Amino acid sequence: MSSPSSAHRQVETLADGAAVAQAAADLFVAQARAALAHGHDFRVALSGGSTPRRFHALLAVTPLREQVDWTRVQFCWGDERWVPPDHSDSNYRMARETLLDTVPIRPEQIHRMRGEDDPARAARAYEAELRQAFGVGPGMAPQDVPRFDLIYLGMGPDGHTLSLFPHTAALGVTDRLVTENVVPQLATTRITFTPPLANNAALVAFLIAGADKADALAQVLQGAPDSQRYPSQLIAPAGELRFIIDQAAAAKLRG
């Protein structure tokens, strides 16, 4: 697997984490409008970790809050930890506290991964829920893979994204949309989108800030193809690929 093809890859280097958050929030507003203009709800997958907190908070307040028709957003998650929804490590809880609780949405607009369940069962259940929500059939034929309008991704200092960690089984899963993934590095099992689902999105946006990400980011963008070691290299969507990064994270990039 080669590193993300640069054909439709865009790298936007901004001053700092605050600027990354602003760009991410503006992107949400623009893509939500575009989806409605195309006559369908805005289908977005949120990422976990800490980086999204700031852009969620910008969407929750004026002026951006008024620029989104919140009744037409379908919220999904790219991955989840094996914890209940009220646990401090829950990606769902983070999004609920920083955004969902502050905007006018109905419960049926929230499609969360059930981190409280057995990960294998939760992964199968989430795949079924996505297929129903997107109105697609079983299997992995192109027309049966849901197409998100926008998927937000983060990247760890080890080059992982979603819960696709280096040298783990989920990196090679191509016959499912969502899978459980045993992560020995964290002594846990996660639930995660697979590369085929992520790569069918209209737009994938990596949000990456901080000096601790610089080494891995240089490998992901400019290093030799090695997606086992840098799983973020697996993300090469049919649509657009954007890296919204800050100068600290970009510090090791050539050119």
Which stretches of the chain bind ligand 6PG, using CB under 6 A?
47-51, 79, 91, 154-156, 160-163
Q: Least distance in Å: CB of 161 to ligand 6PG?
A: 5
Nearer to ligand 6PG (CB atom), residue 91 or residue 227? 91
Nearer to ligand 6PG (CB atom), residue 145 or residue 191? 191
According to DSSP, the residues that pair with 44 across neighbouring strands are 75, 150
Structure tokens at 111: 């499609």
Nearer to ligand 6PG (CB atom), residue 119 or residue 154? 154
Q: Least distance in Å: CB of 64 to ligand 6PG?
A: 20
Q: Least distance in Å: CB of 42 to ligand 6PG?
A: 20
Q: Least distance in Å: CB of 108 to ligand 6PG?
A: 24
Q: Least distance in Å: CB of 164 to ligand 6PG?
A: 8
Q: Least distance in Å: CB of 160 to ligand 6PG?
A: 6
Q: Does residue 103 contact residue 59 with C-beta atoms inside 8 Å?
A: yes
Q: Least distance in Å: CB of 142 to ligand 6PG?
A: 26
Q: Does residue 14 contact residue 119 with C-beta atoms inside 8 Å?
A: no
Nearer to ligand 6PG (CB atom), residue 49 or residue 223? 49
Q: Does residue 129 contact residue 23 with C-beta atoms inside 8 Å?
A: no
Query: Residues 45, 50, 55, 59: what is their CA dihedral angle, to the nearest 10 degrees?
Result: 70
Q: Which of 51, 66, 49, 42 is nearest to 203 (CA)?
A: 42
Nearer to ligand 6PG (CB atom), residue 70 or residue 206? 206
* Cα-Cα-Cα-Cα dihedral sign, residues 227, 228, 229, 232: positive
Nearer to ligand 6PG (CB atom), residue 175 or residue 212? 212
Nearer to ligand 6PG (CB atom), residue 51 or residue 137? 51
